[in-house]
Structure 1
Amino acid sequence: MKKTLVSALTTALVVGAASTTFAAANPFSDVPADHWAYDAVSQLAADGVIEGYGDTTFQGDKNITRYEMAQMVAKAMAKTDVSAADKAMIDKLAAEFADELNNLGVRVSNLEKHADMVKWTGKVEYTYKSTRFDDSGYNNGKKRYNEDGYVFRLEPTAEVNEHWDVHARLDSNGDMSNDSTKETKLKRAWAQGNYKNFTAKLGKQALYTNEHGLVFDTTFSGADLTFGKDLKATLMAGRLSEEEDSEWKEDTANFQGIDLQYAGASKFYGGLGYYHLNSDYVFSDKSSAFDIYSEGNTYSKDKNEDTANIWTANLGYRFDGKNALWGSYANNTTADYGDTAWQVEYDYGNYQPVNKGSWGAYAAYRAMPAQTSLMGTYDGVQRGTKGWEIGAQYAVFKNVGLLVKYADGNTIGDQHNDFSRLFGRVELFF
């Protein structure tokens, strides 16, 4: 039976779930960086499994036989200087093509029993932040404050069966300014089932919503079900709290959400979302949880609202493998003020930590009122503020990245206060 090389790579992605986390450099001119199979093509090419056609092309639509694919796997099995993660991927591929490999004289009996069932990835990151205000009435009378910390992260993945695996994330956070370790905690733990055009996640997991983190870039405990291929629908339900080191962490909100997102072969992508939260503590006048450079210390003018109903939309366009422009919008129909958040960003480059010398840069404008950008991304422009943000990323060495961001703007609301923020990070992946 014939199968296309692209579908063979799909097999590599599915049965090779233990492959390395980061893609290698891609030598093929006709596989753009935004192609869905880019990572698999790059990794297999870097390992000498795929050699192309001598003219820097990959010809991904060419039909190949399982026998030809088995030859590629046999070549990979002959390599002795591969990492543990690559070895796990090769073993699983060998199990998939066992009959063909046996015909080639490559014995793989019971190989799947010896495949690594657990893989470990992680990172170490050092982060520096410096924020300045023009009014010392904020931040306990200080016009400037700095943060200087590190994170050591481990992310194990264990295979349960051909469809299900379990994931976790363990973080150890420290403060460099006083040479202390603040905490070591299990941040995430979830089970994931992968089926054709369907994925299920159950447990404490990441929540990064489709509007590029304008509303949520955090974690929640519950279920996440995704259906579809090019057009995907995601249903979410569970419990959601403020950041774990927040003074409001004792309260949690009931959370439900739905996302519709298109990301097919077109250069355009986009989608819609809706999120509902209910919490008597966080969303009422009992808490100042939203008084972060914002309009006041109550959620709504009548001081009785305990829900949030947020509608979102996002739209992007990929000009080529390096240039992209996108924007996103969110509206909280429940909030009496600060009910609209939005951002627009232009991206250039192709930063990949595994590729030494790769880089990227961006310029953006963001408006993030605290009543709508509830738990969004705020490395540059912060929650409760609006302004310009620029940034760049550079892979100094393989798996070593440098990130720099700068934001300049002002707080949202009656108490106007200009601010600027410098963000720098060094990250090392393994």
Structure 2
Amino acid sequence: MRYQDKGNNKDAWNGRVRLNVKGQVNESTYVQGRFLNEMDFKGNGDSNTTMDQLYVNHNFSKEVAVRLGRQPIVFGNQGGWLINPNKGYDGAQASYKNGKLVLTTGFGQLNATKKNAAGETVGTEAADSDVYFAQGAYDFGVAKLNADYIASKEGPSDDRGEIYGVGLNVPVQQFNVFGEYWKNTTADDYDTAWNAGLSYGKADWKKAGTWDLAVAYNDVDEGLFAEGMTGLQTTPLNFLANATNVTFWNAIANVTLQKNVQLHAEYAFSVDAEGVDNDDDSWAVSLNYKF
């Protein structure tokens, strides 16, 4: 169950149920699916059940695996702020995991649309565009480094994007200092994004009373939000439908109230969207059950 204050005198009160199913075909292959039902408590009482994930995974070895189908995809720290659509993408990917090194590459179609600050759809470029991507990460022990690449393969030439990103996470006891930088090399202007933040703790689903908190400052140009829909539950990035740049602070917290019950909260504040007058703060809170 989730409540969202989207700013601009708009809010939402909704619920969501996700049911994961997994079928083991053999020792090397399994099929993973996820049923999704969403309901709007304030508006229409009807709800629809869909399958937002359905893919087959085959392990060639302990290190190498391939996937085919509708599967999750995440770019950006803090909940996948850049790309983390509910329905992921339809396509294929190959991955290599060997100790501290993780490499992933894939091709497919994003299942996301661009929305404005009111949550209204303003474009379907992301859903209509095939993308190629590559991700790499290495854990040095004292720090974790990641690098990402995203290339849009369809649409008018002016809309095609080629985006590079690099991120760093430095653990210090229970703290983490993190940040990342993104660049759209094909955009004429307003082509970068970066953030820097600090997190503390870790909310464990199995341990009541555990919690975590992350706060980050974000500076995002419009050229870095055309590839998909954000995973944030707050709405500052949606201003990029009409703005050239947006800056904001974002806080995300989780508290385990009891085993398999967590309270999740997000708050975007000090929002400044260039060219937009009503760039209000926004927040969201949700109660999540895991079974």
Say which of 272, 293, 308 aligns to 2:161. 308
Counterpart in the other structure of 2:31: 166
Q: How many residues align?
A: 271
Counterpart in the other structure of 1:259: 135
1:411–1:418 Cα contact (<8 Å) kept: yes
1:269 paired with 2:141, answer no
Q: How far 1:408 sits from its partner (Å)?
A: 1.0
Q: How far 1:247 sits from its partner (Å)?
A: 6.1
Counterpart in the other structure of 1:398: 259
Aligned-pair RMSD on alpha carbons? 2.2
Counterpart in the other structure of 2:15: 150
**1:412–1:178 Cα change, 3 Å:** closer
Counterparts of 1:179-328 in structure 2, within 5 Å, are: 180-194=45-59, 195-209=61-75, 211=77, 213-218=80-85, 219-229=88-98, 230-243=100-113, 246=121, 248-249=123-124, 251-263=127-139, 266-280=141-155, 305-320=158-173, 322-328=174-180
2:6–2:234 Cα contact (<8 Å) kept: no
Q: How far 1:174 sits from its partner (Å)?
A: 0.4
**1:181–1:352 Cα change, 3 Å:** farther
Distance 1:343 1:404 in 2: 19
Q: What letter is aligned with 1:344?
A: A
Distance 1:418 1:398 in 2: 38
Q: How far 1:209 sits from its partner (Å)?
A: 2.4
Q: What letter is aligned with 2:97?
A: G
Structure 1's unaligned 5+ residue stretches are 1-125, 133-142, 285-303
Q: How far 1:160 sits from its partner (Å)?
A: 0.7
Distance 1:414 1:248 in 2: 19
Mean Cα displacement is larger for which, 245-254 or 307-316?
245-254
Distance 1:377 1:370 in 2: 16
TM-score calculated relative to the size of structure 1 = 0.59
Distance 1:270 1:235 in 2: 17
**1:407–1:211 Cα change, 3 Å:** closer
Larger RCO, structure (CA 8 Å, separation 6 or more): 2
Structure 2's unaligned 5+ residue stretches are 115-119, 241-245
Say which of 399, 408, 412 aligns to 2:269. 408
1:350–1:360 Cα contact (<8 Å) kept: yes
1:346 paired with 2:203, answer no
Indicate the SS of the match to 1:252. Answer: coil
Distance 1:404 1:324 in 2: 19
Counterparts of 1:327-366 in structure 2, within 5 Å, are: 327-366=179-218
Q: How far 1:412 sits from its partner (Å)?
A: 3.3
Q: What letter is aligned with 1:342?
A: W
TM-score calculated relative to the size of structure 2 = 0.85
Report the structure, 1 or 2, having the larger strand content: 2
Q: What letter is aligned with 1:239?
A: Q
1:177 paired with 2:42, answer yes
Q: How far 1:210 sits from its partner (Å)?
A: 5.7
Distance 2:95 2:111 in 1: 23
Counterparts of 1:12-161 in structure 2, within 5 Å, are: 126-132=1-7, 143-161=8-26
**1:381–1:315 Cα change, 3 Å:** farther
Q: How far 1:419 sits from its partner (Å)?
A: 1.5
- State the percentage of identical aligned residues: 21
Distance 1:420 1:200 in 2: 41
Report the structure, 1 or 2, having the larger helix content: 1
Distance 1:182 1:333 in 2: 41
Distance 2:218 2:234 in 1: 9
